[in-house]
Structure 1
């Protein structure tokens, strides 16, 4: 039997350190999670203690003896090796310590750079949250931060007071989603670095790339490209997106990208003539020209090459 112990009313650090152990420490994926008052350890007779994995005789009503031996890991509580409240540093938390421990004991994970990078970003987020670094964010009282996993965990605790397992399960699902997103983003960053073509359009700095990864579209915009073009090598789908227009009346912090007037209508008309058999959809904003979307799998991809699409854009 394996048990992970963390504190009641679990915060992101408690949840994330539990998540790292359950997801990435071999043999602990089905471990039971128990909750204790913050700072405490699991009750029972300690047969082996002081190591990260301790051996404890714990109560178990399903056994005739009423007890069972269990391997136990404490995270974010009990001043254990995977706790951090005895460490005077704002660069660590239980999540970061658990990550270091798992990396040391999981060779296959260590070899997967995308997975490691995805977890590293989650760890960095957890460290910042656990040391209240959000007060230094740009416009820290903005509602957008309350849509983060931290804000939603607080909301779950308001919805289900004292229901620690519901809070944990919600946080674990959220971290699973964040992990897959960051893994995909790390791949997108590598694709842009290794495959992207930079060019200049009439609207400014632009980027084109042939890849299966659609995250490159948004990532390209946030990197400063006014126009981003992607062609899927399997379906042939072409997607062209320009920087969106700022909403009127919304205050944006200094340093954000400037407004650029973009109208993709001439690109739409030219591509439609060159490949009339493909499905071309020009968004009402005139800033998106789509030849394929996961939201509409019936759209027919284009036979045009990425170079041909770029040439059209450059000559508009």
Structure 2
């Protein structure tokens, strides 16, 4: 389009395109970081099926998790925010998990979305006033119905 608008001004075209190329480069760089973080993911079983958890400065990618067959996806990002999301077409109801989190991580600012398929503790639109003290592995234990820190799954929620 720019070449048609400015056929005799290639510098003008180049200067107009540089911000687009910078944005594309940043997106690709972020995607590479996400894929590297995804390689370090935790896979676990839940009552609903496969769960995948990952930790990354950039947040996470439910698309990567769901593409690997996960029904449930959990993450922790560089801000300390955590979240759990279920595939939109699943029958997952995170209400029991929310209740368990209120028991084991009561001071944290967890929010259960009305769909019951999304649990958040901080987001760009609503930063948590009190972050979760759970590690990502601890959050996975809660998702599996085990009290965080329990040895061998002895203390079920």
TM-score when scaled to structure 1? Answer: 0.41
Could you say if the C-alpha distance between residues 172 and 296 of structure 1 is closer, same or farther in structure 2, counting changes exceeding 3 Å? same
**RMSD of the alignment, in Å?**
2.8
1:16-35 → structure 2 map (5 Å cutoff)? 35=7
Equivalent of 1:229, from 74, 92, 102?
Answer: 74
Q: Are 2:142 and 1:296 equivalent residues in the alignment?
A: no
Q: Give yes or no for contact 1:207–1:220 (8 Å, CA) kept in 2.
A: yes
**In structure 2, distance between residues paired with 1:237 and 1:276:** 15
**Change beyond 3 A, Cα 1:298–1:306:** closer
Tell me, in whole angstroms, the C-alpha distance in 2 between the residues paired with 1:300 and 1:188. Answer: 26
The 5 A counterparts of 1:49-64 are none
Which stretches in structure 1 are left out of the alignment for 5+ residues? 1-6, 11-33, 37-41, 43-73, 75-163, 246-259
Question: Of the two, which has the highest radius of gyration?
Answer: 1
Matches within 5 A, 1:199-214: 199-214=44-59
Q: How many residue pairs are counted as aligned between the two chains?
A: 145
Q: How has the CA–CA distance of structure 1 residues 216 and 167 changed in structure 2, closer, same or farther, with 3 Å as cutoff? A: same
Is residue 114 of structure 2 the alignment partner of residue 268 of structure 1? Answer: no
Alpha-carbon deviation of 1:192? 0.9
How far residue 8 of structure 1 moved from its aligned partner, in angstroms, is: 2.8
1:16 matched residue in structure 2: none
Q: Which residue of structure 1 lines up, in the alignment, with residue 3 of structure 2?
A: 8
User: Do the aligned residues in 1 keep the contact of 2:85 with 2:119 (CA within 8 Å)?
Assistant: yes
Aligned counterparts of 2:72 and 2:128: Cα–Cα separation in 1:
25
- 1:223–1:180 Cα change, 3 Å: farther
Aligned to 1:215: 60
Aligned to 1:188: 34
Structure 2 unaligned blocks of 5 or more:
146-156
Q: Report if the CA contact (8 A) 1:205-1:226 is conserved.
A: yes
State the match for 1:243 in structure 2.
Answer: 87
Determine which structure has greater relative contact order: mean sequence separation of CA pairs < 8 Å that are 6+ residues apart, divided by chain length.
Answer: 2
In the aligned structure 1, how far is the partner of 2:7 from the partner of 2:84?
A: 50
Q: Distance in 1 between matches of 2:55 and 2:143?
A: 16
